[in-house]
Amino acid sequence: MMRVLCVPNFSEGRDSSKIQLICKSIETIAGVELLHIDSGADANRTVISFAGTPETVCEAAFEAIKTASEIIDMQVHHGKHPRIGSTDVCPLIPLCNISMEETVEYARKLAERVGNELDIPVYCYENAAFVSERRNLAFCRKGEYESLKHKLSEQKPDFGPAIFSPKIAKTGATVIGARDFLIAVNFNLNTKSKDIASLIASGIREKGKRSDDAKLKGIKAIGWYIADFDIAQVSVNITDIHATPLYRVFEEVVKRAKQLGVDVTGTEIIGLVPEKILLDAGQYFLSQTENENPANISGELLLKIAIEKLGLNDLFPFIPDKKIIHFNLSAVKVSISS
């Protein structure tokens, strides 16, 4: 059976009743597994993960986007995370028995339906992009919601209206696409300085103002201050998990933080993470501290090592059964190859 994962990001992280309504709209679709909900008040954003057949997932995604457009008013939305609409971004990710090319077709059909039936401007991104510039989410979201009126006139969406009507003023636009696994992670600093976090972010992201050799492939990063925790964080998206493993990003952030006189106290993974990402981290950290061959160590121990070394319990308890995607999917084997 073909299975895909959908990880839409909604511009609401404070009103639990609205978040519940969006989740209920997903759960009404038979055969869809609601896997994880991750909300942040400062970001004012919720990331929801669900999986199923391509048809059921696309139906659930449509219903969620529809519900979000009805209950979220972008005219009054404020949050630290970049966003362009009530449903900011909605990616489809192939899980098993489906190719990326097939996933792209489903993503484009979903985008067309959202544009036609909900009258929401839709930009297609990553592998589903029709033009190369729009492969990059940051390009599609440049200027955010506040610049949407100008964007619609200058960059016509792939689907939906290109006029900033009163309805679009409320819903904003959305970005829909197909991509590989992405790791969204925040590194916690023992400082409140957004400037320090931003300096670290600019030094590691692939496309930035600096041009030193430490640039990491497939890394998008920003720095921010999170009032909920009273700390600054380096917020990172690892878009190429094969080229740049999580532990590599962690070590680079630690190094640059020390150069600026601060420490990394821990790591916060947003949403779900493939098990292999943490097993690889455990093997790496073990190889740095022990003489024993990591190949002889159990997977359970490797997970414990990764959780400890990355500081995944820093802000909240990290529970593998709830945070690792493989442990949340019924009868699905997800393969993340090296």
pLDDT of residue 220: 93
Architecture of domain 183-327: 2-Layer Sandwich (3.30)
pLDDT of residue 327: 83
How many beta carbons lie within 10 A of that of residue 218, not counting itself?
18
Annotated catalytic residue, options 36, 77, 81, 242: 81
Q: Which residues of the chain have pLDDT under 50?
A: 209-213, 331, 337-338
Q: Is 36 considered catalytic here?
A: no
**Residue 106 · residue 127 · CB < 8 Å:** no
DSSP E strand boundaries for 227-280:
231-238, 264-270
3-178: which CATH number, 3.30.990.10, 3.40.50.460, 2.40.50.320, 3.40.50.300? 3.30.990.10
pLDDT of residue 246: 97
Compute the mean pLDDT over every residue in the chain, rounded to the nearest whole number.
92
Q: What DSSP character marks residue 324?
A: B
Domain 3-178 and domain 183-327, same fold? Reply is no
**Residue 207 · residue 201 · CB < 8 Å:** no
Decide: pTM greater than 0.95.
no
pLDDT of residue 289: 78
Domain layout of the chain by residue ranges: 3-178, 183-327
**What span, in angstroms and rounded, lies between the C-alpha atoms of 151 and 142?**
9
